[in-house]
Structure 1
Amino acid sequence: MDKKRWQEVERLYSSAVERRPEDRATYLAEICPDPSLRREVESLLLHGSEADDFLQTQALEAAVGALAYELVGGEASAALVGRTLSHYQILEKLGAGGMGIVYKAFDTRLKRPTALKVLPPDRISDPDRKHRFVKEARAASALNHPNIVTIYDIDQAEGIDFIVMEYLAGATLDNRIPDQGIPIAEALEVGIQVADALAAAHSAGIIHRDLKPSNVMICDSGQVKILDFGLAKLVEEPSIKAGEDSRADSQQSTSRTGEGTIRGTVAYMSPEQAQGRKVDARSDIFSFGSLLFEMACGQRAFSGDSAGSIIAAIIRDEPKPLGQIAAGIPADFERVVRRCLRKEPERRFQSISDARVELQDIKEQLEAQRDAGPLKDSARPAGPAWLPSVQGISGALVVVATLIVGGVWWGLRSPEPLPKFSPIQVTKSAGWEGQPAFSPDGGRIAFASNETGNLEIFVTDWRGGTPQNLTENAAQDEYPTWFPDGSAIAFVSDRNGQTGIWKMSQLGRDPILLIPSGSQPAISPDGLRLAFVVAGGRGYSRIAVSPLAELTRIQILTDDEDGPFDHRDPAWSPDGKSICYSTRHNLWSIPASGGTAHPLTEQGELDTDPCWSPGGRFIYFTSYRGGTIALWREAIGWGRAERLTLGTGIESQPSLTGDGSRLAYSTEGPETSLVLRRRSTGTEVELSSQVRDRMASISPDNRSIAIVSSRWARDFQLGLQPLENGDVTGPLQPLTDQEGILSQPRFSHDGRWIAYYLIQSTSRDIWITSVSGGPPIQVTSSPASEGHPCWSPDDSQLAFTSDQGGPLGIWTVPVPAA
C-alpha cells in the first residue's frame, strides 16, 4: 500500500460518505472495481466520524504505510551475504526489523558472532529513515540491562550505515505463542522480564513505541530480551513524569516524530499512537497489555480485516474478556491486562514498574498454590513443581509418581528449588524391569522384565503388589502397549524366529501375530491404526502405520529427510492426527496420514521415549542433557523444556494415566555398577558404581580399561582406568573432551590407540585417540553416518558400518596414525 493508494481511499471515502448509508454499497460497486480497495473504504465508512479524524490528520495513511513497510521489508535483498563490512563478515540474513535488515555476522577481530542491522539498500538515500536509524543506535546503546539487546558498535563502511549488536540464539515470542496461548506462569515470567527492560528504558527517557511479540526474543538460555528500539523516542526532559503536561516537550517531539505521524505496528499501538497524537511511556504500557493478552490466550487484543478496522477497534472497542477465551486465567492477571489497556492514558498504570509489581505478586500467589490437585491440561497449569526422591534402589525398576501442580514454569530463568516427595516403587524383583505402560483406566501397569531369565510381559497394580506374568514364553517379549479399550495388549516378540508385533488379551491369552517384521507398537486413540518401527531402505529404522483391519497395507511415513539416524518410539497425539517419534537429534512429529515432518524439540539434544499429555498440550520425554539422563516436559509450540527429575537414577520411559494425574517411569538406582569378571575364576570386581560410567573396553595387556563417562564433561567422553592385577589403581584419566556424544570404544591390538564413533549434531564419524594423550584424530568425515569401529589384525585399517552410497554396509579405511 503506497501513498497514492491511500489518497484514492480518501477520495472514495469522501465521495461515498455524502450518500445515504443504504446507497453507499451500490455506489462504491459502480465507481470502484477493485474489491480490496472497496473493502478498505467500507471499513472506514463503518467507523464514521473516527475515520474523518484519521484522514484529516493523515494518521491512517501513516499507519498503513508503516504496516506496508513491515510487509515489504521481509522481501528486501540479501545481497550483502558473503561480503565483509569493516571487520564484520556477513554470514546470513536473519530478517527485517522496524528500522532495517538484520544479518548474522562474525567479528573477525574479536572472534565472536554478532548481529548487524543495516538500512535496506533501496532506502539508504532516505535522510529521515537514516536519521532515525542512527537515533535507534544511540538510544539503545545508552541502555545497559540484561533484558535489552546489547549494542556493540555503530559504524559505516562502503557507504552503508549499520549497528553491531549481540547475536542472540533463540526465537522471537511471536514464534513461541501457540493458538491457545502459553501457560500463565510462562506469560508472567516473560511479562516480568519485559517490564524490567521497559522500566530501565523509561527511566532513561526512552520510549520503545513498537513493543510487540516479534520484538521480544526468548533466548535459548531462557533469558528474555527486547529488540529493535527502531522507533524509540528520546524524551528531552526525563524528569517529566508520565501524565504531566509539557508544551515545550510536545513541540520538540513534533519535530522528531510529529503529531499526525504514526510509527509502529498497527495491532499493538496505543489509542493515542494510532491517532498520531503525542505519546509518552504510558503508550508502551498499553502495548505491554496487548502483549500480555496475546500470550495468555493466543489471540490479539484488537483485530480486524483491515488497518482501518484495527485502528478503530483500538480507539473504540474493549477487548473480549480473557476468561471468555481461555480457561484458568487468574482474575488478578486479567485485571492487570485490563488496566494496561485502558483507552485513557491517565487510567492506565502510570509506571511500568507498578505493573511489574502486580505481576510479581500474582506469580508468588501461584507458587503458593502447589497443592492445587492433579495435572489437567484444561486448567492450564504452570507445570509440576516436583522431583522424585529415590534412595537405596538397585537395578532397573518401575516407579509411579503422583503429579502435583506447582506454580513455577521452568526454563525462562534460573530454576527455583522444587519441593521433593517420595514416589512409589512399584516393582521390586532382582531382575531388570522397564518399559512401563499405564492401562487406559490408570489402574494397572504393563511392563517388561527379565526376572525369569528372559524378557516377559508382566502386569501389576499401579500401587505395587505381585506382578502377573502374561507371556510365560521362552521367547524375548517386550514393549507392551495397551489397546484404548483396555481389552488387549500389543507387544514385541521373537517367538516365531523373527522379531514381530503380537497381540494378546489383557490376561495374556490367545496371542496372535500382527506384523511379522516390526517393533515398538503404538495403537491410535481410536483403536483403528497401528504405528510401529520398521527397517528403512538404508538400514535405519523408520516409522510406519497400518490399519488394524488391513495389516498388510503398510505405509512408511518417515524417510531420510525426517530426522537423522534411526526413527523410533512412535507416540500418537491424543487427537490421532500426528505421531511423535525420536531420532538422535530432537523429537519429531509427522502427520499420521503422511506429509512433512518437523522437530517438536529444537535444542538438538538426545530426546527419546515421547509421551503425550492427555490434552495434547505437552510432550513428556527422556533426554540426555547436562550429563544426565532424566525426564523432561515441553509445551507444544513453546520451545522451552522443563526438567522433571534429577537424573540421579537414569529416569526414562515415561507413561501417563488418561487423566494426567500419575506418571510411571523406569529408573536405575545409584548402585548400578561396571563390573570386571574374571573368566578363569568367575569372580567379580566392581570397577565403578557411578551411573555416569558405561561401555567398558579392556586393553590387550589387561592393564587398563577404556570407559565412556560424563564425570568431567557435559556429554559422554572417553576415559582410561588403570588396572593392576585386575584391581582398580588410581583415578579415571580423561582422554577426550569433545563436543558431542562418544560411543563404542575399541582398543587397537597393540594397545596404543582407541577407536570410537562420535555423534555431533546430525553427523556420526569414526575417531581415534592415543592412550598416552594428545588431540583425537578424525578418521572419517563423509556426510554418511558411520559407527561401530573394528581394528584389522595389523592395526593398519578400521572396519566400520556406514550408509554411504545406500543401505547400511561394512566399509574399511586406512588408519594414518598407525
Structure 2
Amino acid sequence: MASFSTTRLGRYEIRSQLGAGGMGEVFLAWDTELERTVALKMLHADVASDQQRMRRFVHEARASSALNHPNILTIYEIGQADSARFIATEFIDGETLRQHMQSARPKLSKVLDIALQVASALAAAHEAGIIHRDIKPENVMLRRDGIVKVLDFGLAKLTEQVGTVDTQAPTRTFFKTAPGMVMGTVLYMSPEQARGLTVDARTDIWSLGVVLYELVAGRLPYEGTTTTDIMVSILEREPPPLSRYAPEVPTELQRIISKALRKACEERYQTVKDLLQDLKDLKQELEFAAKLERSTPSALNKGAMDTRSSDQPMVAATMKPLIVLLASGLLIGLIVIAGYYFWSKRSGQSAPSTSYVAPSQQRLISTFPGSHAAASFSPDGNRIAFVSEVDGVSQVWVKSLTEGDPVQLTSDEAPASRPRWSPAGDEIVYVRRLPGKVSIYAVSPEGGTPRKIIEGGRNPNWSGDGKRLVFERDYDVWTTNRDGSDQRRIDGVPPTDFLAADRMPAFSPDGSAIALFQNDKGPIGDYWVVPVSGGEARRLTFDHIYGGAPAWTPDGRFIIFPSQRAGSMTLWRVPVDGGRSEPVLMSAGEDTEPEISRDGRKLIYTNTRNSHILMLTDAATLQSRELKESRVDMVDPSFSPDGSRIVFFGVNQEGDIHIHTIGADGKNLAQVTRGKKERNVHPQWSADGSSIYFYQFHPTVSFRKISVQGGESAELVQGWEWGTHNGARVDPQGKRIIYSKIDRGFVAATMIRDIATGTETAFSLPLRHARWSHDGQFIVGTDVPGRNWKLAEISICAVEGDACRKVTNGYSPHWSHNDTRIYFFPFTDSDGESLWAVSREGGDERKIMDLRPLHPIGQFFDVSSQGQIVWMQYRRGKNELWLVDLSHQ
C-alpha cells in the first residue's frame, strides 16, 4: 500500500497521519476535485492480500455508505489507487470518546447528550437492518461542535430482512463467522457475542450499556486481568451499582443502564428505540426540573398565598420549594421538583412540613414480585391495602410497611380495583368488575368472605368518620351508608357526556365536600369540589388535561392530584379555597393514585411506565401492526379519505394538546397545530384530505378548521365545547355539521347546521356518536332511550326525510369503508373489550376481534377506505408503589 511518505493517492493529497489500527492507517487528505478535507482509511499490505479481510473492508464501507444519518460517519468513496484500497470519509475535527473520557469524567448532561446521539445512530442502522457489533469509546467521535459520530462498521452485520430488526431471526453476515468465532472488543461484548453465538440488534444495546456505565462510573462494569477473566465476568457476574462510584446519579439512569446490561437478551431492551425513548424522557425530566428550580423566586419563604388562576405559571411565588434531588434511591429517577407545606396544625398536633424530601425519605414499597397499584393506608398508617394480579386477575392484598410478606385477601374470578381502608380499620371496600357489571364489596383486613354493598357502583371512598361512602353510578356521584342503605345522589356535580368517565370522588376530611376529576371535554377535564349537601360546585383547575384520583390533605386545605399539565402524568396540589396549582414531585413514568396517611406523615402513590401505541388492524385478516409508540396518549385517531395518513391529538412535553398526523406506514409524523397553552382535540379530516376540523378549548372555545400543512386555523363556530356541543362532524361535501346538544351528560337533540348560513334543523332521534355515511345521505348514531345506557340502540337515519330505523343494540358506531356494515361496541361489554360488526340492514351480527389482550384505550377507532382499522393500544408497564416518609420533616 501507499506509505506515509506518499503525498498523493489518486485525486487525494495526503497531509498527515491521523491514526492506525489492526487493519490499516487513517490519513488526513485533501480532495482536489471537490476541494474538501477528507479522511482516508487504507489497508496494510498484509491485510490487502487476505481475501476475507478485504471482503470485510469493503463490506464495512458498504454498510456505512448505506446509512444516511447525522450521527454516522459519511462515506464519500470506496476506491483503489497505486495498488492501495481505501475509503474516503468525512473528516471529524474532534476527539474519540476514549480521549474525551481520559481528560475528565463527563457531566451528566454530557453523558445523556452522547448517549442520545449514539442511540439515534444505532436506531437508524438497525432500521436499515445493520448491526454494528463493535460499539466502544474508540468507535465514537465527538466533534468540536458537540455532534457525535459513530465510526467503524467493520464488524457490521446485515439482518435477513432489511428495513426491520427482528430480534429473534437469524442473520446473514457480510463476512462468515464460524460457530465459536468471537469478533469485537472483549470488554464491550454482549454475553451472546462472547459465547460466539448468533447475535442480533440487542448486542449493540448491551455494548452501549457498557459505554454508558463507563461514562458515568469512570470505570468498566466488567473487568479482569485476562481475556478469559473478562469473559467470565461478563457471563456470570453483575456489575457494582453505579451509586458506588457516582452517588449523584439518578436512579432512572441506573435502571436504564441495568436493563441494557441484562445478560438474557430477551430481558434486555428489545429495540434501541425503546432505550432511546427512555433516555429522551430522562433528559426532558431533568431539564424540566432545572427549569422549575431556576424559575422559583426567592420570595417563596414569605408565606403569602397567591390566589391567581391555575392557568398562571405553575410554581407559586409564595411557597417553599423542594430542592431538586437526583440521588440514588429516588423513585425510578425521581426528581422531587417542589414540595410544599401541605398542612400545618391538625387537632393540636404539629403536622410535618414537606418543604424538603431527602433521598432517604423515598423508598420503593413494592419490592416483592408482581405489579401493584391503588394503595390505601390503614388508620394507623402502618399497613397498606393494594391490588396485585394473581394468574392475570387483580386481587386485594394487605402488607405491613415495616416487615413481613404481603397477604392476599380476595380470590375471585372477577378483577378487584380501588381498595380503600375504612377509618375504623375493620373493612376494606373495593370494586369487583365483570364485563357489563360492577359492584362494590367489602372484606376484612384479616380475610374472610367479602360482602356486597352496592350493585352497579364503582370507585368508592370513605368519609372521614367512616359512616358513609361516596361512589359513582353511571354518570352520577352518590353517597351511602356503609351497609348500602340511604343512597343519595349528590346534586350540583357538573354533567359529563363521556361514557368512560371516572370522576374518582373523595370525601373531604370533615365530610362536607367531595373532590373529583370532571371529564367535561371527552377524556380530558379538571378538578372540582362539590358540597355534599348540594349547592354550587367550584372548579379548582383550568387545565383541560388528563387527570385521575384526587386526595385531600388531612387539614382539608389542599387537593393532591395527578395531572399531565407538564407533559407527563405527575403529582400536583391546588388550594381548595382557590389559587394556582403547584408541582409536588415528578418522576419518570406516570405518578397516580396519591393517598396521604391520616396523621399526614406519609404519602404513597403508584408509579407506572406505560406505552401508548397506534395500531393498525386489517379488518379482513385481523393482522395487526404497530405504527408508533409513545409515552403519551395518541387519542381519537382518524384516517384521511384516501387512507394514507392518520390524524390524532396528544399532549406534548409542555402540557399543550395539539393535532398531529402520521403516515399509515408509520412514517412522516407531523404536528399540525402549534402555540403555547393550546388545547386542540378531536380532529377529523375534510372530504378532500386538505384540511382538518377540530375543537379548541383554549385559548378560544370553538370548532375550527386548519390546513393539513398547518398555519393559522379558522373559526367555524364560536362557543362550542365538547361537553355541550358534542361530536361535531362535517359532511363529505363540507357544507353541513351534525352535532349533539348535551344536557346533564345526555343528548337533548341532534342538530344539523348549515356552515354558510348558520341555520339548524333537529333530528327526531337524539343521537350521540353520529357519523355521516360516505355519500352524505345517511347518519348512524346511538340512541339512549330513557337515558338508560343498557338500552342503547344503534340507528341509521336518512338525512332527507328523517326516517330512522334500529340496527342493533350498542354504542360508538362506525361505517365500514363501503357503508355496507357498521362496526360497534356491544353493551354487554361495557369496557369496549371486543369489536363487533352488523349489516346496515340489521342481522349478520358477528364479533370481529377480542380487544382484551390488546389493551385498547377507550372507544376511539376509525376505519379506512381500504378496510384498515386504526386504534390506540395501552401497553401496561409494571406498577410500583412508592412511599414518601414525612415524619422527620
Could you say which TM-score interval applies, normalised by the shorter chain?
A: 0.3 to 0.5
Higher helix share: 1
Q: What TM-score results when the alignment is normalised by the length of structure 1?
A: 0.38
Higher strand share: 2
